[in-house]
Amino acid sequence: MRTIDLIKLSTRMFRTRALRTGLTILGVSVGIGTIVFLVSLGYGLQTILLEKITTSESLLSLDVFPPDSDVGTLNKETIQGFKAMPDVEEVVPIAVYPVQLTSGKTTTDATGNITNAPYFRLSGLTVQSGSLFDENDSQSIVISATIAELFEWKPEEAVGKHITVSVFYPDPATSGPGRKAKELEAKKEDIVIKGVIPGETPIVYIPQKLYSNVAINDYAQAKVRVKNADTLDGVRVAIIDQGFSVSALTDVVDQANKIFNALQIVLAVFGTAALLVSAIGMFNTMTIAFLERTQEIGIMRALGASRSDMFSLFLVESGLMGFLGGACGVLIGFLSQIIVNGGVRLLANSLGGRPVDLFRTPLWFIVTIICFSTSVGFITGIVPGRRASKLNPLRALMYK
């Protein structure tokens, strides 16, 4: 049998039994659409999370903390030692002190992080309102949204406000292990709030230039940026060998990816259950088609059609239904995503939030899911096709 004849005979049921075939394809489409919707939701949530916590440079950065014992301290000498490592590109230390912020008659306590502008870049921090201070800023600070709330400001209202900053730091002459620390106050007035970052804890980021007259030698943390991803583990081991505690954002990202991969598998299983029900319906349709066309099969066999022609006829027919079901299912999945995203955007706008796209659908996944549905179609046509190929022509002509 010629290929063109095989295709014409395979598509004849789409015309003669249009309603039944259409409902079967719709059932497959709903199953495929469910899979596309759920898996795309998993990818979307994963993308949103990783975009929030990562930047290209933050993935190349190590967080170094002082050891719990007295093996070593994180001071200027150790910072210079980190910078001297061959695979280290940049080191940004951060000192943490108690802070008081005053505006008008309102005063609040906060945690003061004294650092340099590159810290934001290496940490992947972004602003909610305003901007981050840069290398040239010496009279600007960045506060968390919680501090703005304590002063009863909206984040956008806090930007540009003038405030007094008082940092309390230990006197170097009296502080140290076993000695009572004497707190000294360094007050700076008329400081401008340049930006507000998201956060539920009262934190203020202060440029080190603002307190250049204060001798800071003990740091709470250091950001160490390596040259490339291949040198990350080597630098980490070298710093750990010196007695310091080291963590990397890549560890968090790897764990998050594992969790989301498991979530996507679970969501795909739920969608596959719907597809399985649709596959049973497709198998039922193909079985009914075989019974209805028994005499037709006998006539074709009597006219010279081979067993393989009969098998191929049902296989192509079921494969076409699977392919069309997959293609329509992808469209259903995308339409569902558009509707849900539209609802989320309307809700976010009404509540004053930032709209986000909850779904991400990789191109490879679309191709895979269509191939998968086509394969399911072929599988459902195997049994009816084998029955048709083994049918005795004489008995088929006598079948009623």
**Amino acid 110: pLDDT:** 93
Shared domain for 270 and 199, answered yes or no, is: no
pLDDT, residue 148, reads 92
HSE-up (13 A, CA, CB side) for residue 361:
19
Alpha-helical regions (H) of 12-137: 12-16, 18-53, 76-83, 118-123
Classify 68 as helix, strand or coil. coil
Q: Out of 212, 243, 274, pick the residue that ends a domain.
A: 243
pLDDT at 101: 93
Same domain, 196 and 314: no
CA distance 121 to 333: 37
Amino acid sitting at position 294: T
pLDDT along the chain (400 residues), means of 10: 67 74 85 86 77 62 75 78 88 90 91 90 84 88 93 90 88 55 74 91 91 80 84 84 79 71 77 76 79 76 77 84 90 91 81 74 88 88 83 68
pLDDT of 252? 66
Do 204 and 101 touch, CB atoms closer than 8 A? yes
Residue that is last in its domain, among 208, 243, 278: 243
Q: Within its chain, how far is the Cα of 332 from the centroid?
A: 23
Please tell me the predicted confidence (pLDDT) of residue 109. 92
95 and 36 co-located in one domain: no
Q: Do 91 and 42 share a structural domain?
A: no
Total of domains in the chain: 2
Instruction: Tell me whether residue 17 is exposed, middle or buried, using C-beta atoms within 10 angstroms of its C-beta: 0 to 12, 13 to 18, 19 or more.
Output: middle
Per the domain annotation, does 62 fall within a domain?
A: no
Looking at residue 147, its pLDDT comes to: 93
Number of other CB atoms surrounding residue 304 within 10 Å: 8
Q: Is the separation of the CB atoms in 381 and 315 below 8 Å? A: yes
Same domain, 381 and 281: yes
Neighbour-count burial of 198, counting CB atoms closer than 10 A to its CB (0-12 exposed, 13-18 middle, 19+ buried):
middle
Verify that 32 and 130 share a domain, yes or no: no
Domain ranges, residue 231: 67-243
Task: Tell me whether residue 60 is in a domain.
Answer: no
44 and 85 share one domain: no
Helical packing angle, 18-53 and 307-351, nearest 10°: 50
What's the start-to-end Cα distance of the chain, in Å?
Answer: 26
- The number of C-alpha atoms within 13 Å of 326 and in the hemisphere containing its C-beta is 21
SS3 286: helix
Longest dimension (CA), the chain: 110
Rounded to 5 degrees, φ, ψ at 172 are: -55, -25
Classify the phi-psi angles of 124: left when phi > 0, otherwise alpha if psi is within -120 to 50, otherwise beta: left
Domain shared by 158 and 30, yes or no? no
Final residue belonging to a domain, choices 210, 243, 276: 243
Reference 22, options 314, 379, 285; nearest CA is: 285
Do 49 and 72 fall within a single domain? no
Residue 250 lies in a domain: no
What are 45's strand-pairing partners? none
pLDDT confidence of residue 146: 93
